[in-house]
Every structure is written in structure tokens, then in C-alpha cells.
A and B are shown apart, each in its own frame.
Chain A
Amino acid sequence: EAGVAQSPRYKIIEKRQSVAFWCNPISGHATLYWYQQILGQGPKLLIQFQNNGVVDDSQLPKDRFSAERLKGVDSTLKIQPAKLEDSAVYLCASSAGTINGYEQYFGPGTRLTVT
């Protein structure tokens, strides 16, 4: 089966600019996650969707970050305006369910550099 797709793979922007990332999960997976992975750290959950509803966005900086999942399939994550500390790899993952133990499948990530 096809894996989780993300684009772009790399993005360089200046601070205060805006940027958007796209994710296409594995077909049939109801749950979609966005993670931020800063260099030298493990991934940190930003937001979790169940179909097209938000389950958890407690760690999403809502003053600058937004995400949506239209029709319960693809998702976009936007940053506006970007700050230097937003430089990181943004990972999208999907899973078939939300019960404890369901495996999450990760995409290759988008590496964002803010200058």
C-alpha cells in the first residue's frame, strides 16, 4: 500500500513569511497527526484529527499555526508568520484508529528552514 505522502520535502523562507505543508494519509486511515521535530529532539505532537474533527491541538501555537483536514482525507498545516524557532522537520502520520496500540505510519517529513 502507498505510504503517507508529504510535500514539499524542503522549504526555506524568511521570518515573518507564511508557509503551508500538505499531507495525504494512507487510504482509509481516519486519524491524522502533525508533529514538529526540532533538531536533536523527538517529535512533538502539534495536532490530531479524527476524520475532519480536531481531537487534540493543545500544543499547537494557535497564534501562528493553523491546520485543517477537509473531507477527512488530506490535510494542510500553515504557519503565518514564521519565526526562526519554527525551523524544524514537520512530520505527518496516520493511523487506522485511536485505540491504544494502533501503529502510526509516518511520512518523510518537510524540512523547514526559517532565515
Chain B
Amino acid sequence: AQSVTQLDSHVSVSEGTPVLLRCNYSSSYSPSLFWYVQHPNKGLQLLLKYTSAATLVKGINGFEAEFKKSETSFHLTKPSAHMSDAAEYFCVVNSGYSTLTFGKGTMLLVSP
């Protein structure tokens, strides 16, 4: 069985400040982990993925995430938020065939 917990339903930051979106996972096998972003009225877009290579993963638009097996975490970070980063972010686990299990999402709000 696999599951994902996104610890915050909403995160508010000011433009230019760091972003931290938290994710914990549970998996019976060595998982692959993903972060997807969903802008309003648009499809889900892959930000980055971890598939058992380097534990620090760099993605698009300056985002990165670190896989920590001991903490079963895969938190998403960005050094400096931009207004265009405002969106909903989903942490996703895949620990078997190809079935993805999504977290409930974290809405990132960016104020000027």
C-alpha cells in the first residue's frame, strides 16, 4: 500500500521569499516520487521526479526536492518565490506498477 500526506493545505509567502511545501509518504516498496503543479484551468504539469538516483532532485522553474528515506519525506523548495508560482502543488508516489497516488494538494499563495 502507498499513501501521501501533504502537511499543509495552504502556504502563503511573499514574492522573493523561500518556498517550502511539505510531503511525507508511505510505501511498501522503493518508491518513485513526483511533484506536479496545477495552475487554474490548466492540466497538471510535472515539476520534478525522484526515481532512486540522486536524492536531491532539481526541477523546472527553480524548484527542487530532497528525498529523505529515514524521514519518509520529499519536501519541495524554491529559494525565491515568484508571482507566477501561485498554483496548487501535488506530491505523488508510485511504488509499484504505474499507479500514482496523489496527495490532497497544497495551495501556494504568493503576495507582492
Contacts and interface: CB of A to CB of B under 8 A. Distances in A.
A108 B39 CA distance: 10
B97 A101 contact: no
Given A40-B104, A55-B97, A101 B49 contact: yes
A43 B43 CA distance: 11
A100 B43 contact: no
Nearest to B53: A101
Q: Is the interface of A mostly helix, strand, loop or mixed?
A: loop
Contact of B98 (A3, A102, A106): A102
Contact of B105 (A4, A42, A91): A42
A2 to B, nearest CB: 13
B46 interface: yes
A14 interface: no
A108 B96 contact: no
A42 B32 contact: no
B42 A100 contact: no
B95 interface: yes
Given A100-B32, A101-B32, A101-B49, A95 B98 contact: yes
B102 A91 contact: no
Contacts of A40: 104-105
How many chain A residues sit at the interface, stated as a range, is 20 to 34
B104 A42 contact: yes
A99 B41 contact: no
Contacts of B83: none
Given A91-B43, A108-B42, A99 B98 contact: yes
Interface of B: 4, 32, 34, 36, 41-46, 49, 51, 90, 92, 94-100, 102-105
10 contacts: A40-B104, A40-B105, A42-B90, A42-B92, A44-B102, A91-B44, A97-B98, A104-B98, A106-B36, A106-B44
